[in-house]
């Protein structure tokens, strides 16, 4: 003969925790039924009621299993943290190396650009003549931008380093009057003028 009790009553009768009762229901070790949204458990009349016993038995096996699972999770988390730390350290080192390489490449490209410009100057030999005074009123000397200033200006319009370099190289190659190479200072000067054709 069986009687129908709530899960809380079943826990008291069987001397289990409420979690232990639900665990046994889930594993079909206890027969149960749901009524009006509540779970009821069938308990045999022959089962000794342990609710009046002062010391309730602790489910040592379950506790050990829970501790074992928790220990495994902690161990796994420690390994993950160690692995992630290693990955982050490696990534930071890789980025630092890449940054140094990029700077080196950029410096080499600037040197190549200067060399290419010198070569083109020797091939084409453009004649740059700046008249000191052509009219009665003194003519204003044109303002020149440095390579860095020109680069900054172009970057404000979202232009890439590659595009900026191609502008300068093509300007020098095509003898664009806006681009000037100063032999004395060995610097590229760019006349401050309208650059709408590059934007």
Same-domain check for residues 108 and 159: no
Q: Which residues lie below 8 Å from residue 165, measured CB to CB, with a gap of 6+?
A: 109, 113
Q: Most confidently modeled of 49-58, 65-74, 125-134? A: 65-74
Same-domain check for residues 112 and 95: yes
The range of the structural domain enclosing residue 47 comes to 1-51
Q: How many domains does the chain have?
A: 3
Mean pLDDT, the chain, integer: 80
Confidence of residue 54 (pLDDT cuts 50, 70, 90): very low
Same-domain check for residues 117 and 153: no
Same-domain check for residues 158 and 184: yes
Read off the pLDDT of residues 63-104 as tens digits, 9 standing for 90 and up: 777 888 888 889 889 998 999 998 888 889 889 888 888 888
Whether 133 is in a domain gets the answer no
Whether 160 is in a domain gets the answer yes
Q: What is the structure's pLDDT at 154? A: 87
How large a percentage of the chain has pLDDT more than 90? 11
- Residues 47-79 as b or e (16 or more Cβ within 10 Å = b): eeeeeeeeeeeebeeeeeeeeeeeeeeeeeeee
């Amino acid at each position: 003969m069986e009687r129908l009790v709530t899960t809380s009553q079943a826990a008291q009768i069987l001397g289990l925790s409420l979690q232990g009762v639900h665990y046994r229901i889930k594993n079909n070790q206890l027969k149960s039924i749901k009524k009006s949204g509540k779970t009821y458990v069938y308990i045999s009349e022959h089962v000794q009621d342990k609710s009046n016993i002062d010391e309730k038995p602790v489910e040592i096996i379950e506790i050990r299993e829970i501790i074992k699972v928790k220990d495994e999770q902690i161990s796994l988390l420690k390994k993950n943290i160690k692995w992630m730390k290693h990955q982050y350290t490696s990534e930071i080192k890789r980025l630092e190396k890449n940054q140094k390489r990029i700077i080196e490449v950029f410096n080499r490209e600037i040197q190549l650009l200067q060399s290419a410009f010198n070569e083109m100057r020797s091939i084409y030999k453009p004649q740059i003549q700046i008249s000191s005074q052509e009219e009665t009123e003194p003519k204003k000397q044109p303002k020149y931008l440095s390579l860095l200033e020109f680069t900054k200006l172009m970057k404000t319009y979202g232009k890439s380093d590659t595009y900026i370099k191609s502008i300068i190289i093509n300007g020098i190659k095509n003898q664009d009057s806006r681009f000037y190479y100063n032999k004395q200072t060995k610097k590229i000067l760019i006349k401050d003028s309208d650059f709408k054709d590059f934007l």
